[in-house]
Structure 1
Amino acid sequence: MKSRNFYLIYLLIAILLVRCKGESSDTPSPNNPDLIIGHADKKPIGNSIAQPVSKAITVAGGVISHAGVEVQVPEGAIKQTTNFSLQPIENTLNPKSGNQAVRILPENIDFEKPVLVQFDIPETQRFSISGKMIAYQDKNQIWNAVPTSIVGDKLQIQTKHFSDWVLLDRYTLFVEKTNVEKGEQIRLSLQEQVLAALVPSDGVSDLPLGSYDEIGLWTKDVKISQWKIVKGPGELIPKVNSAMLMGDAIYQAPAVINKPTEVNIQVEVESLSSEISDPKVPSKKRKIGKLFLYVQLWLIPDTYVRLNVGNQMIHFDPPHHIIIMQGKITIRAGNPKGENVSLVYHGTQAGSYDGGYEAGESIFIWMQPKTGPGLPYSMINGYTRCSNFEPLYAGQSQIKFDGQQGEGSFKGPVYYTEQACGFTAQKDVELSFRGITIR
């Protein structure tokens, strides 16, 4: 975070830069003269976090989609049948945001026509859709925002190249942690995407990006109001940030938490003059206007087992016991809906376990209720490959111990199959748990 003095230095430098640049008639004039520019930041290249999907698309065009991202290739965009792929990756522009990032391949290809890339916007984020953009990472590891259109509840861009792409927010609500324990205090902070230019070089195209910083340090055209808890218990206390705006808040958790409890916090941010390049509006610019930013917290009891599937949280009833015996660590849990989960570590030590049945590996099973005759609907972190009839296991598990308690997780894809090889359904899941250790 920058101090107030550091901010004033930036302000003075920016004013001088704007005045100097204003002497040239070729320099576009920003609509917001109070906007301060930063430096483009190099970011790491994101690691893959899930299995890719691939599809061969011919010169007639086609569509490939995965995990809320869709690529539409028009007829005549490619000269020959080409294998396209989408792979979810780490968001290195804004790791704490939870926004999607995806690697779209092949990279080294020149399209004859622009290709459409589309991101679905989750329902909980649609009140802030006017402040969202799409960006790509260039060969210098700089993220660049591109002109982005809103089409219903989706964001779209047109491109003639592929790379790593990410969904970003001009303003965002950061929180120190989303899992909160009894009596704990956590800080929330409104932050803004730092721009590395006042406007793109040609006024309409790529805009290099810096890091995120406290709201109000880089532009003063924002109003902040209505900090409140819209769901769940606890207390919220708005605070003044270093830019002298009510851009921070402290959440105080209740002293007693009997079960996993969702807490939703909302704040209103109104941008008076900031704009985003959008080729689908007549002026090619859209106002950001008023945004409703949300953050979801979970109040965590002393023990728990929960499964995140497509941003839907499934909770499992106590007792939450971690059993260590016969060379294995096992946790099992169920709920009244008839769902059951089990995670077996083939070992007795804390650490990381890859998927599999061998020593040092782990198997995760998610069993769902029957919807008809036959066996329950079970998904597991592995399947048999049809190419050589050998098993393939995915995902990774973690576990650690603290006295009489242990906690851990599994993250990765799980598969359902109705055939001798391959799989008929796949879902990306994340299990997390804390329980009493029994040896």
Structure 2
Amino acid sequence: MIRKLFSITFLLAAVLVSCSKSDSPKVYPDGNGQAANPVKRPHGNPVGTAVVKTIGPAGGSIQSADGAIGVQVPAGALNAAVSFSIQQVENTLEGSKGKAFRLLPEGAEFLKPVTITYAYGEQEMKGTIPDALYLAYQNQDGYHYLASQTELDEQTNKLTVQTTHFSDWTVAELMMVVADTNQVKPGGAANLRLKWQLGSLLAPLTQDQPIGDLVDYDGYVSKVSWTLSSGKGHIQPDGIGCVYKAPGQVPAENPAVVSVSVPFTQYNNKRKSLAILLTSIYTVPDEYFILREDGMTTINNPFADGESSLRMEVDSFFYVTTSFQSGSDILITIPGGVAGGGSYPYGTGDKLAYVDFSNINSVDDTYISEKQNCETCDIVYSGGHVKITKFAAEIGDYMEGEFTAEVWLLGHYSPPKKNLSGKFRVKRTV
């Protein structure tokens, strides 16, 4: 049966805090006398190639290759020309789902604050909402701090903050719902829990907060309220936790959406006083492909006889292919020579992934994970990656994975694009 699944909507309000550099962790108690326990974490290893640019007293800007983060240097912030660089690094902040970047030179002295801008997207939004997102930096000793003067622009999906120091920067989600799974079999269950990372969201903060472990929410627990907002199944709320139980068969209305509301003290007129977080739980068979296309979610379409359209083929590569209720097909090509899974960027080659996304109703409606902006321009490959979380080494094993990609219309220069992401589980039959 054809099903149209829609994207998750998140509404939350959090709290405004402020920004200053600190070399050693401090503890700030909350309204209940609780405190954040600072956690020292390793610095992430470099990912890919750094972007380097020289900026002088006249000012200028630099941004990462994927456009996720940028730095604006105002005129008069420097006395002399300085070589800046932005290097993506592994994100070591627990709970953070965004990318992390090393901004150099770390010891640069700015006469005026520079502005850091981070463009958040679907990945950062999983389990939380925009008002819970703040920029965070990691000092030389390995402690993360909340950049509490972070400004949020929901119209452009950007976070900005002014700073006078460089270091490793990423996104911190102050509060989120953590689910042990977002896909359950018919009759199965998913466990959801309300978490946060700071020791205080209950009292006004006047300094940057150290970020501790991702721990159970312990604020206004008695006012936490869970609801099954849409879909089939039922829930069993229990304070900051909730169990979702799926129906006995895959329902036409899929996914189910579980919401939790949490009250907050209102600190300023930019923040609301109630947080509402929504989490989607899919009831799926053993094999599935959940696709998100430009914010709209759908699952793979069965054939007329009820057999799944999801297939996996193997030669020197792994090929995962399926069709969707929208009339679209997708083919993901994954390197087959590396056992045990892994994460693969896009390109053409033995260790690179490729995406082909087409509409069966139009031969001219094919999008691929590469583009060429002009006849003499170099080929540009999609950002994102295909991540294999479970490897199908033998026939009968299941391959599990997830991916994010930009895909561009085939046959055009500077073509229009689509943003794709998804998860899949498919049995290897050959």
Q: Above 0.5 in TM-score?
A: yes
State whether residues 148 and 155 of structure 1, in contact with CA within 8 Å, keep that contact through their aligned partners in structure 2.
no
The 5 Å alignment of 1:4-403 reads 32-46=30-44, 59-62=58-61, 64=63, 69-79=69-79, 90-95=90-95, 98=97, 100-108=98-106, 109-119=108-118, 131-153=132-154, 155-195=159-199, 204-216=206-218, 220=219, 223-239=222-238, 246-257=239-250, 261-272=254-265, 289-308=273-292, 312-318=296-302, 319-324=309-314, 327-335=316-324, 337-345=326-334, 347=336, 350-352=339-341, 354=344, 361=351, 363-369=353-359, 376-380=365-369, 395-396=385-386, 398=388, 399-400=391-392
Which one has more relative contact order, counting CA pairs under 8 Å at least 6 apart? 2
Q: Kindly provide the CA deviation profile for residues 131-167 of structure 1, in whole angstroms up to 9, marking residues without a partner as x.
A: 5433211111111113325454354321012222233
Pairing 1:408–2:400 present: yes
Give the distance between the partners of 2:225 and 2:164, measured in 1 at CA: 42
More strand by share: 1
State whether residues 93 and 211 of structure 1, in contact with CA within 8 Å, keep that contact through their aligned partners in structure 2.
no
Query: What residue identity is the alignment partner of 1:206?
Result: D
Q: Compared with structure 1, are the counterparts of its residues 114 and 310 closer, same or farther at alpha carbon in structure 2 (3 Å cutoff)? A: farther
How many residue pairs get matched?
A: 386
Give the distance between the partners of 1:199 and 1:29, measured in 2 at CA: 14
Q: Compared with structure 1, are the counterparts of its residues 426 and 45 closer, same or farther at alpha carbon in structure 2 (3 Å cutoff)? A: farther
Shift of 1:129: 5.3
Give the distance between the partners of 1:88 and 1:248, measured in 2 at CA: 35
Shift of 1:49: 6.7
**Structure 1: any 5+ residue segments left out of the alignment?**
1-27, 240-245, 276-280
Percent identity between the two aligned chains: 19
Shift of 1:189: 1.3
**Structure 2: any 5+ residue segments left out of the alignment?**
1-25, 303-308
Shift of 1:41: 0.4
Shift of 1:43: 2.0
- TM-score by structure 2 length? 0.70
Give the distance between the partners of 1:46 and 1:161, measured in 2 at CA: 18
Between 335-344 and 49-58, report the one with greater CA deviation. Answer: 49-58
Between 191-200 and 108-117, report the one with greater CA deviation. Answer: 191-200
Which residue of the partner structure matches residue 433 of structure 1? Answer: 424
State whether residues 89 and 103 of structure 1, in contact with CA within 8 Å, keep that contact through their aligned partners in structure 2.
yes
Shift of 1:55: 6.3
State whether residues 31 and 202 of structure 2, in contact with CA within 8 Å, keep that contact through their aligned partners in structure 1.
no
Q: Kindly provide the CA deviation profile for residues 73-121 of structure 1, in whole angstroms up to 9, marking residues without a partner as x.
A: 32222445656555665543233x53x2431522423222111224456
Give the distance between the partners of 1:308 and 1:254, measured in 2 at CA: 23
Give the aligned CA root-mean-square deviation in angstroms. Answer: 4.8
Between 158-167 and 428-437, report the one with greater CA deviation. Answer: 428-437
Q: Compared with structure 1, are the counterparts of its residues 186 and 254 closer, same or farther at alpha carbon in structure 2 (3 Å cutoff)? A: same
Rg larger in 1 or in 2?
1
Q: Secondary structure at the match of 1:254?
A: coil
- TM-score by structure 1 length? 0.68
Q: Secondary structure at the match of 1:330?
A: strand
Give the distance between the partners of 1:114 and 1:75, measured in 2 at CA: 10
Shift of 1:228: 0.5
Shift of 1:211: 0.9
Q: Kindly provide the CA deviation profile for residues 341-375 of structure 1, in whole angstroms up to 9, marking residues without a partner as x.
A: 2233454785337566666x454222345999x95
Give the distance between the partners of 2:409 and 2:121, measured in 1 at CA: 28
